[in-house]
Structure 1
Amino acid sequence: MTTATSRDDDLRAIVDATTSAVTDDPGKAAALFRADGEGRDGVRTEIRIGRHEITIDEPPALGGQDAAINPVESALAALLSCQVVTYRFWAAKLGIPLDDVHVRTEGDLDVRGFFGLDDAVRPGFGEVRLAVDLRGPASAEDYQRLKDAVDEHCPVLDLFRNPTPVQVGLTS
């Protein structure tokens, strides 16, 4: 079992090594992430990301078989997990003791946008809420400082908060 202290030591070593590598060669800061997927039965999608495979589906009300989480649940899961990672990294970087972090995400989606029933309604989330519970011996002020750092640096939170250029190509 990994203790909070050994986890923090490991994370600090990663932060230090990355900082050194990027300082020596800024080109090492660029990372490319890739996913590849195909439609299957109903509206299910089989996705390959590196050596991992995941399935995304919809509930029967949206044409799926409820074989896995749906795309918007996947987005919430990505936000939740990125929050956990970012809290742990920044706690280690700032030297703020953090025993555990629990995150709950929820998002409001109006299906009129997806179904094209009302063009004034966006097809994505209208609002997303995060509830973060930090456990450990640090002060409330330290945890607020940690939250501020996470809000500033969480990659998936940034995706939710800011427009990201997306290029869509079509081949047939």
Structure 2
Amino acid sequence: MTTEVGNALNDITEATARAVAQDPGNAAVVFAASGRPEGTVGTVVTAGRHTVRVDEPPSLGGDDTAANPVEVYLAALIACHTVTYRFWAQRLGIAVADLAIEAEGDLDVRGFFGLDDAVRPGFQKVRLTVRVTGPESADRYAELHRAVEKHCPVLDLTAAPTPVESTLVTTVSA
């Protein structure tokens, strides 16, 4: 992967900035997805034209046909970091010859299974390792890293509280 210090991604940023300047409402974007059960504990998620399958390993009651929900979260975090690195590398004029990102999270299943309500059901900690190769100085890559950490939407979902409104709609069948 080589991220050229070109303008393709900068052009998107500039076009977006112009559109938002003309009408601040243009900054609001809604993303949506829907899901249905599949198999023992799996889910088929539809997001636009795309389908994502999610399952659990047998130790958590699944058939292991796909990544589990927390692995999908880690994949989303890695993918969002990748996109954000590429946008900000161009924006800052930083050349990147290669980018590799790894993520791992520590989960205590006592929270999920309700075995200990003092244990949160989600990750206790997530670790990201970002490996950047290229011709720039370590300081320039540190600058890029700071920009990514500040602007990555999926990282923000974890690092800052995100209000979630959950609505239950029931249909009683005879």
TM over 0.5: yes
What's the CA shift for 1:3? 5.4
Q: Residue in 1 aligned with 2:95?
A: 97
CA distance in 2, matches of 1:3, 1:130: 21
Q: Residue in 2 aligned with 1:70?
A: 68
1:143-158 equivalences in 2 (<5 Å): 143-158=141-156
CA distance in 1, matches of 2:52, 2:128: 24
Asked if residue 114 in structure 1 is aligned to residue 112 in structure 2, the reply is yes
TM-score, normalisation: structure 1: 0.95
Q: Deviations over 1:44-75 (max 9, x none)?
A: 10110000011000011111100000000000
Q: Residue in 1 aligned with 2:31?
A: 33
> What secondary structure sits across from 1:106 in the alignment?
strand
CA distance in 1, matches of 2:3, 2:87: 11
Asked if residue 47 in structure 1 is aligned to residue 45 in structure 2, the reply is yes
CA distance in 2, matches of 1:164, 1:42: 30
Q: Residue in 2 aligned with 1:5?
A: 4
State which drifts further: 94-103 or 145-154: 94-103
Could you tell me which amino acid in structure 2 is paired with residue 4 of structure 1? T
Could you tell me which amino acid in structure 2 is paired with residue 106 of structure 1? E
> What secondary structure sits across from 1:58 in the alignment?
coil
CA distance in 2, matches of 1:88, 1:55: 27
TM-score, normalisation: structure 2: 0.94
Q: Residue in 2 aligned with 1:171?
A: 169
> What secondary structure sits across from 1:38 in the alignment?
strand
> What secondary structure sits across from 2:72 in the alignment?
helix
Unaligned runs of 5+ in 1: none
What's the CA shift for 1:38? 0.4
What's the CA shift for 1:9? 2.3
Note if contact 2:9-2:87 (Cα within 8 Å) is conserved in structure 1: yes
Q: Residue in 2 aligned with 1:123?
A: 121
**Larger RCO: 1 or 2 (CA < 8 Å, sep 6+):** 2
Note if contact 2:105-2:124 (Cα within 8 Å) is conserved in structure 1: yes
